[in-house]
Amino acid sequence: MYRIMVVDDEVIITTQLEEHLTSMGYAVVGRASSGEEAVEMAKSREPDLILMDIVMPGAIDGITAAGMIREEFDIPVIFLTAYADDKFVDRAKNVEPMGYILKPYQEKEIKAAIEVALYRRDSERRLRAYEEQLMGKHPERKSKAVLMDGFFSDIILFLYTGSVNKEHIFKDSIEHGLANGELCSYAFSQSTLRRYFKDDISSGTLRVYKMEKTMKGLPEFLADCCSIIPASDEYIALRFLFDFSELEDFEDILAIRDAVIEKRNAAFPISGIFAFDMGHLNEERIKALSVGIPRVIISSGEETTVSFSTSSYLPKSLDVVPQKIVEEIVRKSVEPLILTFLREPMSGYDILKEIYDRYHVLLPQARVYSTLYNLENRGIVKVLLKGKSKLYIPTEEGEKYMEKKLKDFHAVYAHMLRIER
């Protein structure tokens, strides 16, 4: 029996919800009336799912509480609220809820949302466990960075908008560092990444620091990480990832930047990313941040990713690729794209999501699944069933086909565009 927790400051609502949930066959393991109480109860009761109101009395609201619960305990949340304002919805999206239901609700809405959320939770956990098992067998994790040469070997100023899936990029950076034998350090205000790297955090190969509204303690965290490298035979370098998404201590941030640049100039093996939400920066601050940093990458989820050297702050010329050009190429290159993703077992859903996360192109499901079906019929991929998940993986012949197909595809584009290979 699934265990559900209810969070709302109105007793009549929590009582009604408990009655409805019980009649649906779920066990209600707790009722909380504030964000703080919800976090503590989630820790002690460990529910499978939480129904969470947003506006409640106390120091933290439902959205903040949901982010903390998702990050610390990996418990999914469905928001149940009377607020549909953009400011609430935009904040809610950042904590990756399983649903957002407006009051007054219908019982069938609750039932459907819960069933979908629990199915997604179970599927994601099964797939994650399977991926971790495969990682144990194939530890040579490879980065899947696209169109960002040098992104993982330099010091980068990464500026993003709220619509960018930044954690997808952050995850690639950490994976690349771990695969290269680097000590990785990750500082953040809000993040869901820690659940992907529990073993690495436990072993100390990934060190994390949560910034609570200020960055007090971050200089010491950086210094401690730097001190490990010279005395270690295990790590070849330090890779950092500092996401200053919610901080206003600008002078302190510049001091951290200066400390990193000083280390780099002294031939200390360090690389990494300073990440900022552009919504919190003006042109003057961006110019100040870019001093001494070799490269700036600006990413807007709806438009374009631009990468350029900071040898001059604004380059004399920029090659910018409009999103519709990217979309046109993606739609004409579905099979090669799928083949690049199938270096690891993936489901059709994950391939669709990967394409959207990387290129912001939403392909029809039928296009991807029909391509996978065709590859399966030709003996290029085979299917692995893991619970209810259907994963695709290359056959032995498929590996050879993929290598040749991708090489041919690259050769054709290189010839057409007169690129030296």
DSSP letter for each residue of 174-225: HHHHHHTT-EEEEEESS-SGGGGGHHHHHHTSEEEEE--SS-TTHHHHHHHH
Most confident range (mean pLDDT) of 111-115, 140-144, 161-165 is 111-115
Segment 341-353 shows an average pLDDT of: 84
When pLDDT is cut at 50, 70 and 90, the band that residue 247 belongs to is low
All residues at 6 or more sequence positions from 400 whose CB lies less than 8 Å from its CB, including other chains: none
- The closest alpha carbon to 7, from 47, 45, 44, 37, belongs to 37
Which residues pair with residue 402 across a beta bridge? none
Say yes or no to pLDDT of 139 above 50. Answer: no
Can you read off the two tokens belonging to residue 296?
A: 């700036």
Segment 179-201 shows an average pLDDT of: 89
Q: Would you tell me which CATH number, out of the four given (3.40.50.300, 3.40.630.40, 3.30.70.20, 3.20.20.10), belongs to the domain 143-319?
A: 3.40.50.300
The domain segmentation of the chain, as residue ranges, is: 3-129, 143-319, 325-417
- pLDDT on residue 38: 95
- pLDDT on residue 314: 43
Q: Where is pLDDT greater, at 412 or 376?
A: 376
- pLDDT on residue 142: 38
- pLDDT on residue 147: 43
When pLDDT is cut at 50, 70 and 90, the band that residue 133 belongs to is low
Look over the chain and give the mean of its residue pLDDT values, rounded to a whole number: 82
Range scoring the smallest mean pLDDT among 8-17, 127-136, 203-212:
127-136
Most confident range (mean pLDDT) of 92-96, 254-258, 298-302 is 254-258
Q: Would you tell me which CATH number, out of the four given (3.60.15.10, 3.40.50.2300, 3.40.720.10, 1.20.1050.90), belongs to the domain 3-129?
A: 3.40.50.2300
Q: Do domains 3-129 and 143-319 have the same CATH topology?
A: yes
Can you read off the two tokens belonging to residue 232?
A: 């270690």
- pLDDT on residue 302: 47
**Considering the domain 325-417 in this protein, what is its CATH number?**
1.10.10.10
- pLDDT on residue 370: 86
When pLDDT is cut at 50, 70 and 90, the band that residue 321 belongs to is low
pTM: 0.47
What's the rounded Cα separation, in Å, for the pair 287 and 65? 35
Q: Where is pLDDT greater, at 111 or 245?
A: 111
Segment 146-165 shows an average pLDDT of: 66
Segment 395-418 shows an average pLDDT of: 77
- pLDDT on residue 316: 38
DSSP class of residue 106?
A: P
- pLDDT on residue 151: 53
- pLDDT on residue 149: 47
When pLDDT is cut at 50, 70 and 90, the band that residue 186 belongs to is very high
- Compute CA distances 218 → 215, 227, 419, whole Å: 5, 14, 44
SS (H, E, C) 215-283: CCCHHHHHHHHHHHCCCCCCCCCEEEEEECCCCCCHHHHHHHHHHHHHHHHCCCCEEEEEEEEHHHCCH
